[in-house]
Amino acid sequence: MLMDFINSAKLNCKAAAKTFLLGASLLFFFKFSHAEVVVFNLAGLQDSERVLNNPDKGWYHHYYDNSLKKYLLKSDSDLDGFPNMQYLFLRFAWCYLEPKEGEFNWSLIDGAISKWKTKGIKVAIAVTAQETSEVYAVPKWVVDAGATGGMYPLLWDKKKKLFEPDYGNPVFLEKLEKLQKAIAERYDGGENIVSFTIASIGNWGEGHHLCTSRTAVSVDVIKKHIDIYKKHFKKTPLYINDDLMKYLRTPDEIRDLREYVESRKIGYKDDSILVGTSYAADPSKKSFLSGEFFDASYDYLPVVLEMEHYTLSLKSGLWKGKNGSERGADDVREIVEKSRCTYLGYHGEAAKYLSENPDYVREMANKLGYWFFVDELVLDTGSGAVEIAWDNRGAARAYEPYKIFLKFKSAGGKFEKTLRVKGADVCKLHSGKTRQSCFVDFGFLPRGEYEIYIGMLKTFKNGAKPRPIELGFKESLRGADGFYRLGKVKL
């Protein structure tokens, strides 16, 4: 494949040279008559133990969960030692955000953003209409305005009753749309926002009513909710819980909903990893029950998984031993691979989880999402043809179009030039080994010997400084600019 590319490039160069002036033609001949194919074997330069600190993949922390008090971080430094901690998942009841109609408590979101953005940690948002900690997760003023529903006893405390709305009630839908419109106007497309979850139906926004009425919401009503979110959120990715798609539904209903969701490029979340009832439903699937959903959404959005509350997993024995070595870790490893997971939430106190699972946290920090190694780089010093042998040891592909560059530094360091590798597409690097044929235009570089470096950068439309993406090389090869030294080449 490379030689075909090289020969084609050489023929194109020769054809173009015929149109040049004599002097330019002679210069062209002089430069490329010394061409050779240089092969950089890079396997010996790799390091698979080092944790790579990379964006757009890794862990997330449940910052609000079931109430405004659960899993709040006790110290600003609680997440400092957590590798690849990407975002806080802010899940809270509607009544907390809009206690009075049109009056919003934006500090619930803004406070988290301002506090953690200096550490590079973003947020994801899910505003729910039913929480097991609140009688009226839907604000009481919505009910007073005419939103209908019923009171249902809580599964584990029959004396406590929760309001479960009629999710298709016109008043409910009207107020819900105003809420989502306000949220979208303020946060959609924000640089510190990772995603929004369609969380307006079911216990904890998961789409089921296992803790209250044990009833399903109609497909038509679910579509109305989806339409509201899609109408207002145009930039930031939307996710929906897989339970909402399948809870008490017929195969035809599931198929209908899936077509609706996937045609709108909405991603799936699975909040049942390591949950005992999910194991019981089908032991062979080890709590990951909807793999076919994620096979579809993987093409267009990163996969997000949420593990059971850590304390409950310890109590049930579904997570046992340091680093889950006796039980739990192998199941999650298998699920992460099968789902091609990019983001994973551990659902507990950060310091406790990290101290009891330090090796596992580091392992998953690399494994989640992309994890790029370069096995070999082949360079034709005449045509500029390049072939890169990649090894993505992560569970998933990259979803951001990171750019590849080669840097040429002359002996003595007096001359240096960084050039874009054209044709390299990191979004096509799925798990496993891939070879890509590319091109670097270095025909204008002075002849001589150069040290060559490779770098991958995330660039930003707002003009912010590009962020280097770490590759699986030894740290000693990495320069201050994030480029890795590969060796020497003579042009």
> Which residue pairs from 9-14 have beta carbons closer than 8 angstroms and sit at least 24 positions apart in sequence?
9/380, 9/383, 9/384, 9/385, 9/439, 10/382, 10/383, 13/382, 13/383
Q: What is the pLDDT of residues 32-86, one digit of tens each?
A: 345 699 999 999 999 999 999 999 999 999 999 888 988 998 888 889 999 999 9
Burial 68-94 (b: 16+ CB within 10 A, else e): eebbebeeeebbeebbbbbbbbbbbbb
Last residue of a domain, one of 367, 394, 410: 367
Number of domains composing the chain: 2
- Residue 17 has what pLDDT? 34
- Residue 228 has what pLDDT? 98
N- to C-terminal Cα separation, the chain: 22
- Residue 34 has what pLDDT? 55
Percentage of the chain exceeding pLDDT 70: 93
pLDDT at 30 exceeding the cut of 60: no
pLDDT at 184 exceeding the cut of 90: yes
Residue 294's domain is classified under what CATH number? 3.20.20.80
- Residue 25 has what pLDDT? 30
Q: Is residue 130 located within the same domain as residue 199?
A: yes
Tell me how far apart the alpha carbons of residues 35 and 380 are, in angstroms, rounded to a whole number: 7
- The SS3 assignment for 13 reads helix
- Residue 39 has what pLDDT? 97
Q: Is residue 339 located within the same domain as residue 202?
A: yes
Residue 210 to residues 155, 185, 203, 205, 216, Cα–Cα distance (Å): 8, 33, 7, 12, 10
Q: Is residue 330 located within the same domain as residue 472?
A: no
Residue 229 near residue 239, CB atoms below 8 Å = no
Q: Is residue 395 located within the same domain as residue 266?
A: no
Q: Which helix (H) or strand (E) holds 421?
A: none
Last residue of a domain, one of 347, 367, 387: 367
- Residue 26 has what pLDDT? 26
The DSSP letter of residue 50 is S
pLDDT at 362 exceeding the cut of 70: yes
Amino acid at 135: V
Mean pLDDT, residues 364-389 = 97
Mean pLDDT, residues 107-127 = 96
Residue 393 near residue 373, CB atoms below 8 Å = yes
Last residue of a domain, one of 334, 350, 367: 367
Tell me how far apart the alpha carbons of residues 375 and 483 are, in angstroms, rounded to a whole number: 16
Tell me how far apart the alpha carbons of residues 231 and 221 are, in angstroms, rounded to a whole number: 15
Q: Is residue 390 located within the same domain as residue 310?
A: no
Q: Is residue 138 located within the same domain as residue 221?
A: yes
Q: Is residue 16 located within the same domain as residue 138?
A: no
Q: What is the pLDDT of residues 429-461, one digit of tens each?
A: 999 999 999 999 988 999 899 999 999 999 998
Q: Is residue 318 located within the same domain as residue 438?
A: no
Query: What are 93's strand-pairing partners?
Result: 128
Q: Is residue 407 located within the same domain as residue 329?
A: no
Split at pLDDT 50, 70, 90, the class of 462 is confident
Mean of the per-residue pLDDT values of the chain: 92
Mean pLDDT, residues 410-414 = 82
- The SS3 assignment for 277 reads helix
Q: Is residue 414 located within the same domain as residue 331?
A: no
pLDDT at 259 exceeding the cut of 80: yes
Residue 259 near residue 216, CB atoms below 8 Å = no
Mean pLDDT, residues 348-365 = 97
Q: Distance of alpha carbon 288 from its chain centroid, rounded?
A: 19
- Residue 74 has what pLDDT? 82
Residue 135 near residue 162, CB atoms below 8 Å = yes
pLDDT at 389 exceeding the cut of 50: yes
Q: Is residue 276 located within the same domain as residue 317?
A: yes
Split at pLDDT 50, 70, 90, the class of 5 is very low
Mean pLDDT, residues 19-29 = 29
Q: What is the pLDDT of residues 401-410, one digit of tens each?
A: 999 999 999 9
**Which residues form the domain of 156?**
58-367
Query: What are 209's strand-pairing partners?
Result: none
Split at pLDDT 50, 70, 90, the class of 226 is very high
Tell me how far apart the alpha carbons of residues 213 and 151 are, in angstroms, rounded to a whole number: 9
Q: Is residue 195 located within the same domain as residue 119?
A: yes
